[in-house]
Every structure is written in C-alpha cells, then in structure tokens.
Amino acid sequence: MNSLLWLFNTLISLYVWILIASAILSWLVVFNVVNAQNPIVRSVGEFLWRVTEPVLAPLRRLLPNLGGIDVSPVILIIGLYFIQNLVNEFFLGF
C-alpha cells in the first residue's frame, strides 16, 4: 500500500510542477521573453496546454472574472495538495 501512496504523491507533485511550468511559460510568452514561433517553445507550450487545460478550463468557468488575472492554477494546486493530504491521512492514519 505504501508503494501506491508513493506513486499517488509523486503524480500529484509532478502535476503541480507541470502547472507551474505552464504558468511560467505563458508569462514568458506574453512578455516576449521567449519567441512563441520557435518550434521547441511551441511544442513545449502545446504539451503543457494539452496536459493542463482539460483540468483548468472547467475551473475557470466556475471562478469569477478577475480581469487579466488567472487564479485557476493556484486554486487547482491548493486543491491537489488538499486531496493529497486527505488521502495520506486516510491511509497512514495521521
């Protein structure tokens, strides 16, 4: 059971890092730090978008419009850590 819990925690941590990378890349593209026409940047951005957008899109529809600020990744990260702690408490008992 500890191996499954380790795998679950690792997948949650990996997805949180993917969310952070997606947010940082979007900022770099918006502020013209990286060229979005570069094939490597485009393929990395496409991968990050395909992995994060199916989870973030429904969350964005639920959240109020805050202008140009997108807080959905932060809300998702908090939710993922909450679920991770809930599962850890349930299986480990602390």
pTM over 0.85: yes
pLDDT, residue 66, reads 87
Number of folded domains that form the chain? 1
In this prediction, what percent of the chain has a pLDDT beyond 70?
99
List the domain range (segments joined by +) for residue 40: 2-92
Measured between alpha carbons, how far is 59 from 66 in angstroms, rounded to an integer? 14
Measured between alpha carbons, how far is 12 from 8 in angstroms, rounded to an integer? 6
Cβ atoms of 56 and 48 within 8 Å: the answer is no
Say yes or no to pLDDT of 94 above 70.
no
26-55 average pLDDT score: 96
15-24 average pLDDT score: 97
pLDDT in tens, 41-58: 999 999 999 999 999 999
